[in-house]
Amino acid sequence: MPQLRRPYGTWSSPLSPTALAGALRLNDVQWDSDGQTLVWHEGRGARGALVAQTGDDAPRDLTGPDLSVRALVGYGGGDFTVAGGQVVFAGPGGRLYRQALAGGQARAITPAFGEAAAPRLSPDGRWVAYVHTYEHDDVIAVVDADGADWPVKLASGTDFVMQPAWHPQGTHLAFVAWNHPNMPWDGTELRLAALDYADDRPPRAASIETVAGGERVAIFQPEFSPDGRYLAYVSDADGWNRLYLLDLQTRAVALLTPDAADHGAPAWVQGLRTFGWSGDGRHIYYIRHERGFCSLWRCDMPGRRSERIAALDDYTALEQVAVAPQGARVAVIASSARQPARVVSLDLGEPGHPPAINLPTAPGEPPSIQVLVSRPALRIHRRADTENTPPAELAPVEAITWPGHDGEDVHGLYYAPFNPQFTGTGAPPLVVLVHGGPTSQEQAGYRPAAQFFATRGYAVLLVNYRGSTGYGRAYMNKLRGNWGIYDVEDSATGAAYLASQGLADPSRFVIMGGSAGGFTVLQSLVVKPGFYRAGICSFGVSNQFALASDTHKFEERYLDSMLGPLPEAAAIYRERSPLFHAERIVDPLAVFQGEDDKVVPRDQSDSIVASLKARGVPHIYHVYAGEGHGWRKPETIEHFYNAILGFLKQYVLYA
């Protein structure tokens, strides 16, 4: 069938705003101790739900519509844990609840004060360790699994704690801790608490020692081996987030992943996992990040050799790897540019028999050779989307690199306009999507916004500007003191690079982002008026002084590294606050804000819009009731994308 010729940006897309609003959010997946029951966490509008599936049975909801499963420490995450036929999860009132997988009602096991996250059941099932925050005090707490007694503090004294993990004999607890002004990707400590049990009371820490990390070394996700001999963790001590192994008997440390790739993630939320031990302790399964693309690998512990799991090669974004305690099953949340997120699992059984290639165990040894494991069967447990749009009708993605304004390399992901029914003439309009954080990364997974635009005839650039993760610590640290410079310049040079290749119309650039990405939108319109035809800003930072004083605890010292400490850096804060230079914004701007946003409060958007209105700058402004820092309600998502379509038609396509 011949393609219809229509102007770029006006194509009929299979992805409607209604379709985008109906998708689920798949947040986490874990196995029960039997290795047969899989439990995952879904976001359904504003509510979180737990779903379980045992063997070949149909999936079933564990939690009812009257009980939302959601942890609210910081940005959330660490919503639940499962073991021994029981699930423990965070729910209303900041409480932990316990529920049997076999059925029955959930029962609260902690009192209703503060917030709880990242619960972990002890090996004997008697105790639950978790992260608790109350009145700016973050601790590792322990409560009996029946909730009969009041919780007790096990570890405190630092500003933040994260990722508690039990030793399989219950003798120790590992966790990550850090203090202001660091963020968890700046510098953290891996701490090991020796536990003391007395009089049938919750365990207490007889001693706590720091075994890795520091002020300028970030540690991520400690996990003990099933036999208790080793403690695995991710560290960026040598410039990349790599997987290490601490021998608890000899205290020797071995490097398991020596390649120049990242194997961790910025710990924006609790409960993140990028690796897991097999139940027999013979393997560690881990996710590897390269140029925005993910792959799953298996490290054989006796031989210290790694193999790539080819069965997941069709997926390019992987999250929350979960390894069954029994058997050889691995589950993960997986997606690709043309495939919405799914909960999938593999039964790897016996490994294949390719040549065994030893990985280097010390710096300076030859690089590893990639070895592929034969493809096992892949099972799909849950789809986040109806998947009514065939992958062949969605846009592919490619990693690109371009020279920044100072000649250094900048990275990103590029979607060409794509729709089998249509073709255009000339160069297409370009939407530059800027991620939040700013310490974050765009990955080559399913990006609804990118597909929404690409299938309508827009080119799309996802900018992993200097400061993004996934390209090593040195690249991430480029933004320290330079927020509002590299993100702005790298977005602009990326757009100009695509235009120079004939892939974008330089007269129709659009920049779009939320939160820190929204700041980049505003700052770009301030310092580069006329470069973009229009901007789209969601809950963006306009006043850095207000952000430093009004935001939540997790980020209240973030700007010390991004801009500098106050009051010494006050001049920089003023220079990088779009509100103080709002008179320079002359390009059309769409602004969206959650009424209940506690991270970037509403007044940040109100102030910018007041300036636009007073000066007659073309704009639209929508405040969504009941929404916080990001959209959860389907009706919000649908309205958001419909409003954007109308805005772009008026100010970009037909201006």
Q: Model confidence over 538-596: pLDDT tens digits?
A: 999 999 999 999 888 999 999 999 999 999 999 999 999 999 999 999 999 999 999 99
Helix (H) or strand (E) holding 500: helix 486-500
Domains of the chain: 274-384 (no CATH), 399-653 (3.40.50.1820)
Q: Compute the distance between CA of residue 444 and CA of residue 414 in angstroms, rounded to an integer.
A: 10
**Chain-wide mean pLDDT for the chain?**
94
Whether residue 323 is predicted with pLDDT greater than 90 in this model: the reply is: yes
Give the model confidence (pLDDT) of 490-500 as tens digits. Answer: 999 999 999 99
What is the Cα–Cα distance from 322 to 337, expressed in whole angstroms?
A: 22
pLDDT band at 352 (very low <50, low <70, confident <90, very high): very low
Under DSSP, the state recorded for 217 is B
**Of 68-77, 111-120, 344-353, the least confident:** 344-353
Rounded mean pLDDT, 110-128: 97
Q: What is the pLDDT of residues 505-532, one digit of tens each?
A: 999 999 999 999 999 999 999 999 999 9
pLDDT by residue (tens digit) across 3-14?
899 999 999 999
Question: Which range is least confidently modeled, 49-63, 337-351, 509-523?
Answer: 337-351
Question: Can you tell me the distance from the alpha carbon of 236 to that of 242, in angstroms, rounded to the nearest whole number?
Answer: 6
Give the model's pLDDT for residue 410: 98
The pLDDT, as a whole number, for residue 375 is 61
Does position 354 have pLDDT exceeding 80, yes or no? no
Per-residue pLDDT tens digits for 361-382 = 444 444 444 445 456 789 999 9
User: In 301-403, which ranges are E strands?
Assistant: 305-309, 317-323, 329-336, 339-347, 372-373, 378-383, 398-403
* 106 contacts 91 by C-beta, under 8 angstroms: yes
Residue 356 is predicted with a pLDDT of 37
Confidence band of 327 (pLDDT split at 50, 70, 90): confident
Asked if residue 600 lies in contact with residue 555, where contact means CB atoms within 8 angstroms, the answer is no
State the Cα–Cα distance between residues 482 and 412, nearest whole angstrom. 19
Tell me the percentage of the chain whose pLDDT exceeds 70. 96
Query: What pLDDT is stored for residue 103 in this prediction?
Result: 85
pLDDT, position 200: 82
| pLDDT of 360 above 70 | no
What's the pLDDT tens digit per position in 275-319? 999 999 999 999 999 999 999 999 998 888 999 999 999 999 999
Taking alpha carbons only, the member of 385, 452, 443 closest to residue 418 is 452
pLDDT at position 45? 86
What are the DSSP E strand ranges found in 225-347? 230-235, 242-247, 253-255, 275-277, 283-290, 293-300, 305-309, 317-323, 329-336, 339-347
Q: What is the rounded CA–CA span in Å between residue 224 and residue 594?
A: 41
How large is the C-alpha radius of gyration of the chain?
24
Compute the distance between CA of residue 359 and CA of residue 17 in angstroms, rounded to an integer: 48
pLDDT of 348 reads 87
Residue 529, preceding peptide bond in cis (omega within 30° of 0): no
**Per-residue DSSP letter, 31:** E
- Give the pLDDT confidence score for residue 361 in this predicted structure: 41
- Tally the residues of the chain: 655
pLDDT for 349: 78
State which H helix or E strand residue 134 sits in. Answer: strand 127-134
Phi, psi of 256 (to 5 degrees): -100, -25
pTM for the full model? Answer: 0.93
What is the number of other CB atoms lying within 10 angstroms of the CB of residue 227?
11
- pLDDT at residue 48 greater than cutoff 50: yes
Integer Cα distance of 7 and 103 in angstroms: 56
pLDDT at residue 568, rounded to an integer: 97
